[in-house]
Amino acid sequence: MASSVLDLRPVSERPPQLLYSFEEAGAILSVSGRQMQILVRQGLIPSVRIGRLVRLSRSDLEAYVGTLRAERR
């Protein structure tokens, strides 16, 4: 099992995070974790299940934002 050691390196020096919780993903998109759950339930953003945990990938978040830009045109 991975150790839970706090990474004190600046964010710019850390390897990119692959998966995010609802709250973390919400912070990236400037919405609440609850709003992220709603978007996933509506099928607008795909999710991954790891055991009982649900996670969202950064590439899926970026793809979702891309669809919002496309809708505005």
pLDDT tens for each residue of the chain, 73 residues long: 555 677 787 767 877 789 999 999 999 999 999 999 999 999 999 999 999 999 999 999 999 999 998 766 6
Q: How far apart are CA 72 and CA 2, in angstroms?
A: 43
Q: How far apart are CA 41 and CA 65, in angstroms?
A: 17
Per-residue confidence (pLDDT) for residue 12, from 0 to 100: 77
What's the CATH fold of domain 18-72?
Multidrug-efflux Transporter Regulator; Chain: A; Domain 2 (1.10.1660)
Domain boundaries, the chain: 18-72
Per-residue confidence (pLDDT) for residue 52, from 0 to 100: 96
47 contact partners, CB below 8 Å, separation of at least 6: 40, 54, 55, 56, 60
Kindly state the DSSP code that residue 17 receives in the 8-state scheme.
P
